[in-house]
Structure 1
């Protein structure tokens, strides 16, 4: 409260109040985000919000701090299935976040091509060695699964994996590399080398009690390295790699996409190292977008789905106790390419039920995309593929923009209420 003394002019008081008002509204203006994108007019705009958003207050505060000061990092892990593995959705969301809140790097990647599967367009991996591979969707096969949901393994002591980022749409050059790999007396170490073969850093020898993760700082930003196996004694017989994180050392957002073709909730639960290794990424938010593959077997639906949702959430929460969760419902889809699939709505209802009963946030993409029979409308627009389940690149980009719009609408409402 400002009290005018006899010597204080009314003009001075008015100017002080005006200054305070301007400072407050300037901070509000700096915190909010304006976002527009090309639309196919398929979405339910009124439904496109993050539901139970009060649960996300601390996450929104982290974003406000980042937006207004330019300092800090916000880490988001987006977990899913084939809709996520290609990174079409998450590439759009990542670039939107980083355009508005700062670019801290590409984040977690998996060498998909080396594993014999698809990988995002903004990275390219390769190897002259044939690596064994396993996806989390085949839990009965050998090889453990870690943070990336896909594992590669070799017994070749001179094996290497090349990694190059594509900076066409966003600068993903990096100054640090974090390797997630099996560390035990039988495992090779790894070095990180530049394009000339010059060693930039090495994970070092195994020591008892070491976690399956090593962080290597580079002297400057690069857009290409190779990960080289290093054998230092005869006890070392193999190398097993779970994932690679790339950062640039800047403040901003790291948006990690983890997706595996065919994945269900139960597959991540069966991955022995998955939940524990997420702690190394220090996530502020998990976005879990699963459910499509649980619905494709309709009329059979797994009666243990709620159990598997809870098991995954609890295992991630155990090692990340402060992290928030958003559950995403799957979009409408066809079965056998042309038949409506009532199973999608049933799975959607169970995901929402779990979120509501456990106080988690959720994005009801099933409703946002148009609800029952909306797959036919997406197909008519030419952005649903002939299989009736997957989308074109343009369809996925539209989904990524819808998700980011839901974030920003909900975030801006929070800013207006808590930081008027």
Structure 2
């Protein structure tokens, strides 16, 4: 199996290394954006586990926007909802970091959120919506009380707290003023009072970075509200197969995005990752190598997952080991977990955490050797 362990490091990581003290003190906040490799949750979920991050994060009722349920919650909706995503041109509904939004004018509409893990419980829930005088007010039922409300540009969040730990709730709306007649949801966030690493992962299946940049008009407001120390961007798979991909537009967009947020959050560090090597329906990703080269030429820290996998064409050896699904674009759970372990190893190297390196490296070596060969 082709895995390049000597390649497994983050290039130009001097700014990333400055976060080492935050990592060691457990006071690090990470925002991870990407495409389906992130939304599916196996890759990002394993990163979260390895970093021992708090059980928090932003979640969304994906089926209402014609996508699959998230990793943590199963959702059931009633009433009339309109779902949109960055995959289609502007619809008149604002979109934030999730890359999705659902909106309603039906005051009887609601969304039930049920934790998939019966052992998961929470007391504090943050609802992300819009700072609009015409917006209906969210309500989580009699067990929750509002503890705070904050506004950032055109976004606002409302914090609810329960006196008892719960594993489900129902989001509904109420009208507090005659002009209130609509509600747009940008996600709910579980808030933990415990100290520890925060890791927020948000992906959109099928998305390209320029779609998020051009169509998610509330991204900047939400990033400013979240104030992440590290922003990881994992895009490129869909661009690599796009015959109309424009390298100059792509480079200009990612530089503008980075510079705009950097001007607002100068302490935040950007880390871009390359797309993995894939072969969608046996098609060769025409722009894969060009994308990798473009990203490696930028000034920000860069993780070359493509090279770590073994380079162009290496996915064939991963397929033989059972680490890819039949589409040869998405990996199995074990394949994503191996990629996550490799990525976290590179992070630990940048942060000089030798104590955590060796046991994780041992796990990686065992998985590379044993593989996941299907029956």
State the TM-score, normalized to the length of structure 1.
Answer: 0.78
User: Residues 174, 384 of structure 1: CA spacing in aligned structure 2 closer, same or farther, 3 A cutoff?
Assistant: same
User: Residues 220, 406 of structure 1: CA spacing in aligned structure 2 closer, same or farther, 3 A cutoff?
Assistant: farther
Tell me the residue number matched to 2:241.
Answer: 296
Correspondence 1:275 to 2:220? yes
Deviations 1:3-25 (A, max 9, x none): xxxxxxxxxxxxxxxxxxxxxxx
- Confirm or deny: 8 A CA contact 2:80 2:106 kept in the other structure: no
Out of 56, 78, 98, the position equivalent to 1:106 is: 56
User: Residues 232, 138 of structure 1: CA spacing in aligned structure 2 closer, same or farther, 3 A cutoff?
Assistant: same
Please give the secondary structure, in 2, of the residue aligned with 1:412. coil
Tell me the residue number matched to 1:81.
Answer: 35
Alpha-carbon separation, structure 2, partners of 1:242 and 1:272: 12
Correspondence 1:123 to 2:60? no
Deviations 1:304-359 (A, max 9, x none): 11101112212332332211111100111225x223324111111101112xxx2x
Tell me the residue number matched to 1:27.
Answer: none
User: Residues 184, 339 of structure 1: CA spacing in aligned structure 2 closer, same or farther, 3 A cutoff?
Assistant: closer
- Confirm or deny: 8 A CA contact 1:74 1:254 kept in the other structure: yes
Q: Considering only CA atoms, is the larger Rg found in Structure 1 or Structure 2?
A: 1
- Confirm or deny: 8 A CA contact 1:79 1:258 kept in the other structure: yes
Alpha-carbon separation, structure 2, partners of 1:395 and 1:130: 38
Out of 12, 18, 21, the position equivalent to 1:58 is: 18
Tell me the residue number matched to 2:330.
Answer: 390
Alpha-carbon separation, structure 1, partners of 2:181 and 2:158: 19
Please give the secondary structure, in 1, of the residue aligned with 2:248. coil
Alpha-carbon separation, structure 1, partners of 2:207 and 2:73: 22
Alpha-carbon separation, structure 2, partners of 1:312 and 1:204: 30
**Can you give the 5+ residue segments of structure 1 that lack an aligned partner in the other structure?**
1-40, 67-72
- Confirm or deny: 8 A CA contact 1:53 1:410 kept in the other structure: yes
Alpha-carbon separation, structure 1, partners of 2:325 and 2:152: 50
- Confirm or deny: 8 A CA contact 1:176 1:217 kept in the other structure: yes
Out of 348, 364, 368, the position equivalent to 1:408 is: 348
Tell me the residue number matched to 2:291.
Answer: 347
Tell me the residue number matched to 1:12.
Answer: none
Tell me the residue number matched to 2:360.
Answer: none
Alpha-carbon separation, structure 2, partners of 1:327 and 1:132: 32
Number of positions where the alignment pairs a residue of Structure 1 with one of Structure 2: 355
Give the C-alpha shift of residue 203 in structure 1: 8.1
Q: Identify which range, 273-282 or 200-209, moves more after superposition.
A: 200-209
Alpha-carbon separation, structure 1, partners of 2:58 and 2:267: 20
**Can you give the 5+ residue segments of structure 2 that lack an aligned partner in the other structure?**
357-375
Tell me the residue number matched to 2:277.
Answer: 332
Out of 183, 189, 192, the position equivalent to 1:239 is: 183
User: Residues 207, 301 of structure 1: CA spacing in aligned structure 2 closer, same or farther, 3 A cutoff?
Assistant: closer
User: Residues 254, 165 of structure 1: CA spacing in aligned structure 2 closer, same or farther, 3 A cutoff?
Assistant: farther
Deviations 1:152-206 (A, max 9, x none): 01111122212223347xx65322212110221211011123xxxx241248999
- Confirm or deny: 8 A CA contact 2:149 2:159 kept in the other structure: no
Deviations 1:340-389 (A, max 9, x none): 324111111101112xxx2x211110100110111211222222233332
Tell me the residue number matched to 2:138.
Answer: 190
Alpha-carbon separation, structure 2, partners of 1:156 and 1:91: 34
Correspondence 1:90 to 2:40? no
Give the C-alpha shift of residue 108 in structure 1: 1.1
- Confirm or deny: 8 A CA contact 1:89 1:400 kept in the other structure: yes
Give the C-alpha shift of residue 139 in structure 1: 2.9
Tell me the residue number matched to 1:364.
Answer: 304
Tell me the residue number matched to 1:181.
Answer: 129
Out of 376, 400, 412, the position equivalent to 2:316 is: 376
- Confirm or deny: 8 A CA contact 1:276 1:319 kept in the other structure: no
Tell me the residue number matched to 2:359.
Answer: none
Alpha-carbon separation, structure 2, partners of 1:255 and 1:163: 20
User: Residues 59, 330 of structure 1: CA spacing in aligned structure 2 closer, same or farther, 3 A cutoff?
Assistant: same
Please give the secondary structure, in 2, of the residue aligned with 1:303. helix
Give the C-alpha shift of residue 121 in structure 1: 3.0
User: Residues 199, 222 of structure 1: CA spacing in aligned structure 2 closer, same or farther, 3 A cutoff?
Assistant: closer
